[in-house]
């Protein structure tokens, strides 16, 4: 029964993670395809840039919830943190490699935050605060996102959550890889700042 629950939780997490809320929200309410404008990403930052801050916040909320809900279920029905970590990873993978978008998707940061809330809140909060601080100083969401992913590895160690370190390392690799184009733009000084209009 435990393994059946595990498989069902993995499937649910991947399916929910794969729902491209940024695309749905932008096209439904503003008639904009975020894949074809701005940074070309379906995440909340690009939606906010193209459609306005309220729609970006709504996208952020939905992307967080699609990570949070399946992991919250997993915490209650699965017996160990490694199974729960796999469910979290499935949600983020669904977002980054959505079958609804030809196995493409977003950067996975908001879904990562949602998926990690039920597993260990305080280390996550510290990592998110690092992210917010970097964005406040630099206005680069991509840089803040990668700092958050890297700092998770550190804070899980500091809080004694060695059981979550494998998940943190995998997520760090996934998020940095998803931001590889942003890294290039950062190095060239071409990265768009938060809510700044993209130059034509």
**Predicted local confidence at residue 3, as pLDDT:** 86
Query: What residues form DSSP beta bridges with 104?
Result: 98
Which letter does DSSP use for residue 36 in this model? G
What's residue 38's pLDDT?
Answer: 81
Smallest CA-to-CA distance from 84 within 53, 118, 52, 109 is with 118
DSSP-assigned states of every residue in 175-198: HHHHTHHHHHHHHHT-PPPTTPPP
pLDDT per residue of the chain (200 residues) written in tens, 0 to 9: 688 999 999 999 999 999 999 999 999 999 999 988 887 889 888 899 899 999 999 999 999 999 999 999 999 999 899 999 999 999 999 999 999 999 998 899 999 999 999 999 999 999 999 999 999 999 999 999 999 999 999 999 999 999 999 999 999 999 999 999 999 999 998 888 876 654 44
Q: What is the pLDDT of residue 39?
A: 78
Q: What is the model's pLDDT at position 200?
A: 41
Residue 199 is predicted with a pLDDT of: 47
pTM of the model: 0.90
């Amino acid at each position: 029964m435990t393994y059946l629950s595990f498989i069902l939780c993995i499937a649910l997490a991947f399916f929910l993670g794969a729902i491209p809320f940024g695309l749905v929200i932008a096209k439904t309410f503003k008639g904009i395809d975020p894949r074809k404008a701005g940074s070309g990403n379906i995440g909340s930052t690009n939606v906010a840039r193209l459609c306005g801050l309220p729609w970006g916040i709504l996208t952020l909320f939905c992307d967080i919830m699609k990570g949070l809900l399946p992991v919250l279920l997993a915490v209650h029905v699965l017996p160990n943190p490694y199974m729960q970590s796999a469910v979290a990873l499935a949600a983020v993978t669904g977002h980054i490699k959505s079958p609804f978008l030809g196995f493409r998707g977003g950067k996975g940061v908001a879904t990562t935050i949602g998926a990690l809330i039920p597993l260990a809140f305080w280390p996550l909060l510290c990592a998110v605060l690092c992210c917010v601080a970097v964005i406040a100083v630099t206005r680069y969401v991509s840089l803040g996102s990668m700092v958050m992913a890297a700092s998770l590895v550190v804070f899980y160690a500091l809080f004694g959550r060695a059981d979550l370190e494998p998940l943190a390392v995998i997520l760090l690799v996934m998020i940095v890889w998803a931001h590889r184009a942003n890294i290039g733009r950062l190095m060239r000084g071409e990265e768009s700042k938060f809510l700044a209009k993209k130059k034509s």
